Structure 1
């Protein structure tokens, strides 16, 4: 079974620059919610290399 890694990083780091380091990984995704408002955007999420992938087109799911 693969392990999940969660790591908090320097809050002054630019999330887009961090994502660029992982952007060549399979299925890399960057969810950017880092707004200037702390009540609306506290986190940016970077994910890649999932253990399971669902693909769909129309009514077909693989």
Structure 2
């Protein structure tokens, strides 16, 4: 399996095999990016919307002092 990494603001935030980055994103930024990919399955789309909301919330919380 090929190595993969996710970057955020110039820092590596997740380093796992490529499939894992897509199947089980760990960092909120990676989760948000994965959730932004369009899907046709309605159940998966609902899961993605929930992930996007959680990623936005985590990103907002990280910006606060």
Normalization by structure 2: what TM-score? 0.29
Greater gyration radius: 1
Which is helix-richer, 1 or 2?
Answer: 2
